A and B are shown apart, each in its own frame.
Chain A
Amino acid sequence: MAKHIVARAGEISPGESRLVKVQGRTIGIFNVAGQYYAIKNSCIHEGAPVCLGTITGTFIPSAPGEFHYGNEGEILRCPWHGWEFFIASGGSVFNPQVKLKTYPVTIQGDQVMVEV
């Protein structure tokens, strides 16, 4: 595991993401309300470039006929097939065991670093 500088803090605004290449892997760097996360740009379902999906919220399980929207900005929706994932954990909304590959992110000074 080595740390790689992938961005300067502030280059990726809250609610935004960027694709970087680290040692041959394409990785999405996400800023969710000031916290940074790194996700491999390959969906575990069919290999889609998942990090090019939509950053969104989701509907919390509710009683029939009720809608409770939540997790705004914390969900990544894959551009193929529409599976939803929590950006923070990589786990899917329908089953937390079904997870995207994630990498640890650290901030050193004004540098965002990913451990690969």
Chain B
Amino acid sequence: MTEVMTGTTAPIRKKYKVIDTDIHHCLRDWSELQPYLDEPWRTTVINPGSRTGGNGLVAWGGHRRRDSVPPDGGIPGSNPAFLIKQLFDETGVDIGILTGDIYALSVHPNLDYANNVIRAYNDWTIDKWLKPYPQLRGSIAVNSSDPEAAAAEIHRLGARPDMVMVMMCATSLFPYGQRRYDPIYRAAVEHNLPVGLHLGAAGTGIAHAVSAVGYPTTFFEYHSGLPRIYMAQIISLVTEGTFEKFPTLKYIFIEGGISWLPHVMWRLDKNWKALRNDTPWVKRLPSEYIIDHCLFTTQPIEEPPNPEHLLQIFEMVHAEKTVMYSSDYPHWDFDPLGPLTHLPEKLKRRIFFETASELFNFKEESDG
């Protein structure tokens, strides 16, 4: 006797609740935003020519999980009920933070187009995803290239309990520590919201290449070098004194991995001892600002030949307070809970639940 299955993995048994800090919900198509837009944006938003496109590089097999196409069609991540089924019921996530997929609008040449479409996207996220699904939380997408408009968007939505962070494109026109971005940070701390960065859009629109040595040739080369963006941003934030100006600001570096961090912390610390006159407002070891203010999400977790080495890296970066679980659902390099289940029980609780719960003030939630 045979049974044909639609198939996927068995539910995981776990002793703790899980918060997923990186879920890419997406539009079924751009016309979904039209009810939230006035002209001319209502017309231009559905014109593919109005968007800036990619950087010409694609992942083999596509950017999204082939097994995550919703039963009624459409692209993976566009159907809320199917996302809940695959990620919550089958993977074991209990609370999920939506990070969207419109980062490239921050490097669009037209600020008005980007600002309006991003505002519409936030309203669509609230209506289609957050109101019907209390297990989901949203992030306020902003256009970092227009800091005053970004701050206005944070003030417009920042009081909503279902919006738990500010979401910016990791790729920027200037390093994020520069004071031109202070309006964003001022608004974020006023609403007690962390600022999250998500990698993407490097080399698209009016953005710089992913590296200072030019544009990569393949997606393999591009994707492998993405953490350089975070290295540049975190060094800027520390040296410009952003965390001195905004002592309660928390910054989340999503999807950039973790193992590059010890090098950056130690190089900053070494240089600070000799070069601190450049930035006398940097009053402590740079690594202390990073550990106190910055958080990092797990996916795509590094897979060293000796898994013990990842534990050593976790120790170096104080992972018990700086690292949070993320799945990246429904993208091609999705991580379930499995790759982290070998960690010590106490650290696992911190990474899967406690650190995110404290950061996002999920007071009403208790660890299962």
Contact = CB atoms under 8 A, between A and B. Distances in A.
Given A79-B61, A79-B67, A80-B65, A49 B3 contact: no
Q: Dominant SS at the B interface?
A: loop
Interface residues of A, number: 25
A88 interface: no
A102 interface: no
A5 B68 CA distance: 29
A52 B68 CA distance: 10
A51 to B, nearest CB: 7
7 contacts: A22-B2, A41-B7, A46-B335, A48-B9, A49-B7, A80-B67, A82-B332
Given A42-B9, A81-B332, A54 B61 contact: yes
Q: What 6 A-B pairs have minimum CB-CB distances, sorted nearest first?
A: A79-B66, A52-B67, A21-B3, A79-B67, A20-B2, A19-B5
Contacts of A80: 65, 67, 332-334
Contact of A21 (B5, B65, B332, B339): B5
Interface residues of B, number: 22
B61 A48 contact: no
Q: Most chain-A Cβ atoms within 10 A of its Cβ — which of B7, B68, B333, B339? A: B7
B8 interface: yes
Interface of A: 4-7, 18-22, 26, 41-42, 46-49, 51-54, 77, 79-82
A82 B61 contact: yes
Contacts of B3: 20-21
Nearest to A28: B7
Contacts of B60: 77, 82
Given A54-B61, A77-B60, A6 B2 contact: yes
A47 B336 contact: yes
B81 interface: no
A37 to B, nearest CB: 16
